[in-house]
Amino acid sequence: MTNATQLPGAGQPIVAPPGLEGVVAAETSIGDVRGEEGFFHYRGYNATELARLCSFEQVWHLIIEGELPDPDRTREFRQETARLRTLPEQVAKLLPEIASVEPFAPLEALRTAVSLTASVIGLKPVLDIPAEELRSQAIRVSALVPVILMGLYRAHQGLEPVPADPELGYAASYLQLLTGEPPNEAHARAVEKYLILTMDHGFNASTFTARVITSTGADLGSALVGAIGALSGPLHGGAPSRALQTLDEIGERSRAYDYLHQKVESGERLMGFGHRIYKTDDPRSVLLREVALETGGEQARFAEYVEQTALEVLHELKPGRRLYTNVEFYAGVVMNSAGIPREMFTPTFASSRTVGWTAAICEQASHNRLIRPLAAYVGPPPPRPLPEGYAYC
Ligand code: ACO
Any domain includes 10: no
* Model pTM score: 0.92
Any domain includes 11: no
Compute the distance from residue 327 Cα to the ligand 1 centre, in Å. 13
Closest Cα to atom 24 of ligand 1? 276
306 and 210, same structural domain?
A: no
Ligand 1: nearest atom to the Cα of 201: 51
Cα angle: 198, vertex 200, 202; to 5 degrees: 130
Contact (Cβ atoms closer than 8 angstroms) between residue 215 and residue 364:
yes
Compute the distance from residue 205 Cα to the ligand 1 centre, in Å. 15
User: Cα separation of 284 and 255, whole Å?
Assistant: 27
* Ligand 1 contact via 338 beta carbon (within 6 Å): no
pLDDT, residue 10, reads: 54
223 and 108, same structural domain?
A: yes
Catalytic residue positions, numbered: 275, 328
Any domain includes 393: no
CATH number of the structural domain spanning residue 251: 1.10.230.10
332 and 183, same structural domain?
A: no
CA–CA distance from 318 to each of 210, 249, 255, 262, 326 (Å)? 33, 22, 20, 13, 16
* Ligand 1 contact via 331 beta carbon (within 6 Å): no
Q: Which domain holds residue 310?
A: 240-337
The string of pLDDT tens digits covering residues 278-323 is 999 899 999 999 999 999 999 999 999 999 999 999 999 999 999 9
Ligand 1: nearest atom to the Cα of 204: 50
194 and 78, same structural domain?
A: yes
Compute the distance from residue 274 Cα to the ligand 1 centre, in Å. 5
Compute the distance from residue 273 Cα to the ligand 1 centre, in Å. 7
349 and 259, same structural domain?
A: no
Sign of the torsion angle spanned by Cα atoms 20, 22, 27, 32: positive
Interval 73-79 mean pLDDT:
98
Closest Cα to atom 1 of ligand 1? 269
258 and 355, same structural domain?
A: no
Contact (Cβ atoms closer than 8 angstroms) between residue 185 and residue 212:
no
**Exposed, middle or buried by CB within 10 Å (0-12, 13-18, 19+), for 153?**
buried
198 pLDDT tier (thresholds 50, 70, 90): very high
Any domain includes 197: yes
Compute the distance from residue 269 Cα to the ligand 1 centre, in Å. 7
* Ligand 1 contact via 271 beta carbon (within 6 Å): yes
Closest Cα to atom 22 of ligand 1? 321
Any domain includes 8: no
Compute the distance from residue 324 Cα to the ligand 1 centre, in Å. 10
Percent of the chain with pLDDT over 90: 91
* Ligand 1 contact via 322 beta carbon (within 6 Å): no
263 and 129, same structural domain?
A: no
Compute the distance from residue 103 Cα to the ligand 1 centre, in Å. 29
Compute the distance from residue 275 Cα to the ligand 1 centre, in Å. 6
4 pLDDT tier (thresholds 50, 70, 90): very low
222 and 118, same structural domain?
A: yes
pLDDT, residue 234, reads: 79
Instruction: Please tell me which residue, 235 or 136, carries the higher pLDDT value.
Output: 136
User: Cα separation of 50 and 196, whole Å?
Assistant: 8
CB neighbours of residue 391 within 10 Å: 6
* Ligand 1 contact via 91 beta carbon (within 6 Å): no
126 pLDDT tier (thresholds 50, 70, 90): very high
Any domain includes 230: yes
Pocket test for ligand 1, best of 36, 204, 228, 235 (most atoms within 8 A of CB): 235
Non-local (6+) Cβ contacts of 61 within 8 A are 67, 68, 69, 73, 74, 77
The string of pLDDT tens digits covering residues 133-189 is 999 999 999 999 999 999 999 999 999 999 999 999 999 999 999 999 999 999 999
279 and 189, same structural domain?
A: no
User: Cα separation of 129 and 133, whole Å?
Assistant: 6
* Ligand 1 contact via 353 beta carbon (within 6 Å): no
Pocket test for ligand 1, best of 323, 349, 357 (most atoms within 8 A of CB): 323
* Ligand 1 contact via 279 beta carbon (within 6 Å): no
pLDDT at 11 over 80: no
* Ligand 1 contact via 327 beta carbon (within 6 Å): yes
* Ligand 1 contact via 342 beta carbon (within 6 Å): no
Closest Cα to atom 2 of ligand 1? 269
3-state secondary structure the chain: CCHHHCCCCCCCCCCCCHHHCCCCCCCCCCEEEECCCCEEEECCEEHHHHHHHCCHHHHHHHHHHCCCCCHHHHHHHHHHHHHCCCCCHHHHHHHHHHHCCCCCCHHHHHHHHHHHHHHHCCCCCHHHCCHHHHHHHHHHHHHHHHHHHHHHHHHHCCCCCCCCCCCCCHHHHHHHHHHCCCCCHHHHHHHHHHHHHCCCCCCCHHHHHHHHHHHCCCCHHHHHHHHHHHHCCCCCCCCHHHHHHHHHHHCCHHHHHHHHHHHHHCCCCCCCECCCCCCCCCHHHHHHHHHHHHHCHHHHHHHHHHHHHHHHHHHHHCCCCCCCECHHHHHHHHHHHCCCCHHHHHHHHHHHHHHHHHHHHHHHHHCCCCCCCCCCCCCCCCCCCCCCCCCCC
Task: Count up the domains in the chain and report the number.
Answer: 2
* Ligand 1 contact via 273 beta carbon (within 6 Å): yes
13 pLDDT tier (thresholds 50, 70, 90): confident
* Ligand 1 contact via 263 beta carbon (within 6 Å): no
114 and 87, same structural domain?
A: yes
- The answer for 163, left when phi > 0, alpha when psi is -120 to 50, beta otherwise, is beta
247 and 204, same structural domain?
A: no
Any domain includes 266: yes
pLDDT at 192 over 70: yes
pLDDT, residue 6, reads: 46
